[in-house]
Amino acid sequence: MPKTVIYLSSCGIHPDGKPDPFMMQELPWLTRHFGRVVMVSFAGVATLDEKGVDFPLARVGLAAPHSWLAAPFSKDFWKEVAHLFREHKMTPVALAKLFLFTRRGLKMHYWTERVLRGCTEGQTVLYSCWMSFDGYAAALSKRKHPKTRCVVRGHAFDIDIERNPMNPYLMKRMIADVADGLYFISRVAKDQFQEYMRGTVKPSKVRVLAMGSGGEPISGCKRAPRFAQGILRVVSCAQLIPIKQVPILVEALSRWEGGALHWTHIGGGPGMEELRRMVEEKLDSKQNIIYELMGTVDNADVNRMYEKRSYDVFINTSQKEGVPVSMMEAMRYGIPVIAPKVGGIPELVHQDAGYLYLPEEGSDGVLKRLNMLADLSESETDKMRQAAMKHWNRDCCSSALLPKLFPEVAEKGA
């Protein structure tokens, strides 16, 4: 049974030594099933316990300068340069991006090799959270230690050409050749990857497996606030950056003509002041709407909010998405969803658990679905809330999904 999992995630640990909440959701399961969990991030290396960083962040050796010196001599780098030339994509900017990608992957690879010195090859798993330079680092170590199992996840920004046109030229073929398994968070991500790989990846390696969200199933849904309190409670959770398009929700709410509505937005970012001005302009005069802009909230506090408060609906307005963890977290508590039909969202929001709208509908689509939800009877609302919770239990619970990623430890019942 593998005793060590080396978790490679470029952003898994911040420079201040704090673990990223996105990574933390899988940590309890990993620490229960592996004897040791070691995080290799771009900021450094740390051994983790169930609560996070167990030992101080270490920046071992001369990985950074070594990576700068080694990148120009990397065979993988020059193979991708040739790939860019063949497809007439070579530009100075593309070359610079490829060089930096190679250098970053090498830096994480050198740190991974230091960790592997103390591991038994057949009892170690390399797990890359992203099919980016951390995935490249994992594949480099797998190539050097063939008995070590290597699995790599693919999400959205690290796969989608529209988000990053360089994706096909960032070691994807090398990663696919070397890794034991490629796990995509949605069918959309898998299809995008396979389209530009053009049949060069073994189908047996490719799987669709959602990232999921942390925590255990909740027993029983709370009653919808619309019936319990007479107030329609709306929640949204997103960074205030252009791709999240939160102003679309504000525009929809500005035309809400139903009963009392309370909107809570969780998430901060560079667009906070602009959003605040828009909200004051469009919502302050509406007697039937109260709003609360909470800014950045710790992930654990978000879950505590869902435990203490009940919401009628979670609304997402993103221009692009993979499979949003924020949406899963709401569904865990039986909160139905209104969201655009983009990315992997349709794989998450089934008809019985919420409403999808076409992205070109914009605020009209959001408002129409919000009115549809508000028109449901109490029994219909209860069914939708229960469906959202059941869907999370079956398809989004991280501890239920990870055994499929790590069967070598799950089957042993460790």
Long-range contacts of residues 368-371, Cβ cutoff 8 Å, at least 24 apart: 369/338, 370/234, 370/252, 370/256, 370/313, 370/315, 370/338, 371/258
Q: Provide the 8-state DSSP code for 334.
A: T
Reported for 17-20, long-range contacts at CB under 8 A and 24+ positions apart, including other chains, are: 17/44, 17/46, 17/53, 17/56, 17/57, 18/52, 18/53, 19/48, 19/52, 19/53
**Tokens 């990857």, located at residue:** 193
Closest C-alpha among 127, 197, 128, 125 to residue 159: 197
Give burial (CB, 10 Å; 0-12/13-18/19+) of 290: middle
CA 398/CA 183 separation, integer angstroms: 14
DSSP output for 122-165: GGEEEEESSSSHHHHHHHHHHHHSTTSEEEEEE-STTT-TTT-T
**pLDDT score at 414:** 46
Query: Bridge partners of 53?
Result: 48
- How confident is the model at residue 18, as a pLDDT? 76
> What is the pLDDT at residue 412?
59
Q: What is this structure's pTM?
A: 0.89
Q: How does pLDDT run along the chain (414 residues), one tens digit per residue?
A: 568 999 999 988 877 777 787 777 888 899 999 999 999 999 888 888 877 665 556 666 789 999 999 999 999 999 999 999 999 999 999 999 999 999 999 999 999 999 999 888 789 999 999 999 999 999 999 999 999 999 999 999 999 999 999 999 999 999 999 999 999 999 999 999 999 999 899 999 999 999 888 888 988 889 999 999 999 999 999 999 999 999 999 999 999 999 999 999 999 999 999 999 999 999 999 999 999 999 999 888 999 999 999 999 999 999 999 889 999 999 999 999 999 999 999 999 988 999 999 999 999 999 999 999 999 999 999 999 999 999 999 989 998 999 999 998 876 554
CB 19 within 8 A of CB 12: yes
Side by side, the strands of the sheet bearing 337-340 are 289-293, 261-266, 232-237, 313-315, 337-340, 354-357
| Beta-bridge partner residues of 48 | 37, 53
CB neighbour list of residue 249: distance below 8 Å, 6 or more residues apart: 236, 263, 265, 315, 317, 363, 366
CATH of 225-395, one of 3.30.590.20, 3.40.50.620, 3.40.50.2000, 3.40.50.300: 3.40.50.2000
Distance separating alpha carbons of residues 237 and 254, to the nearest angstrom? 19
How many CB atoms neighbour CB 391 within 10 A? Answer: 21
What distance, in Å, lies between the first and last C-alpha atoms of the chain?
Answer: 9
Domain ranges of the chain: 4-214+398-410, 225-395
Q: Which CATH class is domain 4-214+398-410?
A: alpha beta
CB contact at 8 A, 120 and 2: no
Residues 342, 321: contact at Cβ < 8 Å?
yes
* 47 within 8 A of 14, measured Cβ to Cβ: no
Q: How far is the C-alpha of 63 from the C-alpha of 55, rounded, in Å?
A: 20
Per-residue pLDDT tens digits for 328-369: 999 999 999 999 999 999 999 988 999 999 999 999 999 999
**Residue 25: per-residue pLDDT:** 84
Residue 58 corresponds to which amino acid? A
Q: Under a CB-based contact definition with an 8 Å cutoff, are residues 330 and 299 in contact?
A: no
Amino acid at 272: M
The yes-or-no answer to whether 4-214+398-410 and 225-395 have a common fold is yes
